[in-house]
A = this chain, B = another copy of it.
Amino acid sequence: MARMKVTVAYDGTDFAGYQIQPVGRTVQGSIQKVLQKVHKGEFVPTSASGRTDAGVHAFGQVVHFDTNMDIPESGWVRGLNAMLPKDIQVRNVEKMDESFHARFSSTSKEYHYKLLTGQQPDIFRRNQTFHYPYPLNRSEMKKACEYFLGTHDFTSFSSVKTHVTDKVRTIYRLEMVEDGEELTFKIKGTGFLYNMVRIIVGTLLDVGRGKKRPEEIKTILERKDRSFASKTAPAHGLYLIQVSYDEETE
């Protein structure tokens, strides 16, 4: 029996989210269907680094499964891509030690959130960027980013539907990168609560428009109350970019 680590990209547009569910097309369901075919009808469970919501994309989601099939890593990549739908792409397959777990072994995650700030929407990217045609005060937003860095209780920046009790997380990096009309937030941390990246982005946008001052981030964190942060930014701007499994954290 070998444990395989699979790095997967997907366009979240036509999925009801990552996690398998009774009704609706899901990424996990699509992957497991293919694995079951490869294993001659035998059900093959998978574990991912975490779920993503409907409409959220991934460039580097990580999934693991166990197999007793003797297929080389490159054969898995080719074979799975040949059978998977066009909106899921296996980027890499690697044989791991049996102690590896896609979720529990992860040490950090990186997400990007993409906005287009031009007046006209780009219809070719309408499902892959959030169109936000408002003037934004970049320097105020950059100041606000600083307040998120480090270890905080992120209760105010997570959905009230979050089930976990420990809401303390560490953010290593939060950057704004501009490329023409494209504005990307890059955020890396130990882990993220439900909707956390999207609520942080929504709040930064309110700072950019002058609805909140950068210093208020500190107060909002201290309140530990979701209602003090801003609206959740829409799913289709969000990408799970990379899951890291380094021994040392940064």
Of A81-89, A100-108, A170-178, the one with at least 4 CB within 8 A of chain B: A81-89
Chain A residues within 8 Å of chain B by Cβ, number = 15
B123:A89 contact, CB within 8 angstroms: yes
A126:B91 contact, CB within 8 angstroms: no
Closest to A239 in B: B124
Contact of A123 (CB < 8 Å), options: B11, B120, B123, B126: B11
Q: Flag whether A121 is at the interface (Cβ < 8 A).
A: yes
Contact of A121 (CB < 8 Å), options: B57, B89, B120, B123: B89
B124:A11 contact, CB within 8 angstroms: yes
For A1-12 the 0/1 string (1 means CB < 8 A from B) is 000000001110
B86:A10 contact, CB within 8 angstroms: no
Closest to A85 in B: B123
Please give the count of copies of this chain that the complex contains.
Answer: 2
Report B-chain residues with C-beta under 8 Å of the C-beta of A120: 89, 91
Contact of A124 (CB < 8 Å), options: B57, B121, B123: B57
A87:B126 contact, CB within 8 angstroms: yes
A240 vs chain B, min Cβ distance (A): 13
Q: Flag whether A52 is at the interface (Cβ < 8 A).
A: no
Q: Flag whether A61 is at the interface (Cβ < 8 A).
A: no
Docked pose: A164 CA to B247 CA in angstroms:
68
Report B-chain residues with C-beta under 8 Å of the C-beta of A124: 11, 57, 128
A245 vs chain B, min Cβ distance (A): 21
Report B-chain residues with C-beta under 8 Å of the C-beta of A57: 124
Docked pose: A51 CA to B10 CA in angstroms:
32
For A101-140 the 0/1 string (1 means CB < 8 A from B) is 0000000000000000000110110101000000000000
Closest to A89 in B: B123
For A26-62 the 0/1 string (1 means CB < 8 A from B) is 0000000000000000000000000000000100000
A95 vs chain B, min Cβ distance (A): 20
A86:B126 contact, CB within 8 angstroms: yes
A88:B10 contact, CB within 8 angstroms: no
Closest to A13 in B: B124
A141 vs chain B, min Cβ distance (A): 25
Most B CB contacts (10 A, CB to CB) among A91, A120, A128 go to A120
Identify the A interface with B (CB < 8 A).
9-11, 57, 86-89, 91, 120-121, 123-124, 126, 128
Q: Which 4 pairs of residues, A with B, have the shortest CB-CB distance?
A: A89-B123, A11-B123, A124-B128, A9-B123
